[in-house]
Amino acid sequence: MNTFLFGWNPIKFPWPELANEMLQVQQNIPSTESWTCISHTKVKVGDRAFFVHVGKDPRGLFASGYISSTPFKGKNAKGRDCYRVTVTFDVLLDPSSSPILTLELLNMSALSKQNWTPQASGITIQPELVEELELLWKDFLEQ
């Protein structure tokens, strides 16, 4: 299984249904979104996905889930052709109203080797960092 990092900048890409989807996930009701994926040749159904809030603070991880579709052709927010995947969330936080796993915390360990603010969405997270990332995410969520 591979692990991928998807970016979200709310200034460029509004997400009006975020609060509703966050409630769904909290109630164990599946919530899915389609996301652009630069690594479309590597991604498979069942792969792990993490989401980073970029742009203005707070910046850091705010969601996780699993890839639930094979890559498909679609359009990005600018109307350009791209590959997309559908992700089913297992955790979804609203960075404007909930604490998130900040970039400062991500960069305090070996995880600093990963680029947490990529220009493209759907990049591969370095395999040797995934176990530490999962442990840090779990610890953060249990606080």
Q: Which residues contact 130 (CB under 8 A, 6 or more apart)?
A: 3, 48
Compute and round to an integer the Cα radius of gyration of the chain. 14
HSE-up of residue 82 (Cα within 13 Å, Cβ side): 17
Position 83 scores a pLDDT of 96
CATH code of the domain containing 33: 3.10.590.10
Q: Identify the three-state secondary structure at position 121.
A: coil
Percent of the chain at pLDDT above 90? Answer: 90
Q: How far is Cα 115 from Cα 124, in angstroms, rounded to an integer?
A: 10
pLDDT single digits (tens) 29-61 = 999 999 999 999 999 999 999 999 999 899 999
pLDDT single digits (tens) 118-142 = 988 999 999 999 999 999 999 999 9
Q: Which domain holds residue 124?
A: 3-142
How many structural domains is the chain composed of?
Answer: 1
Position 143 scores a pLDDT of 87
Position 38 scores a pLDDT of 94
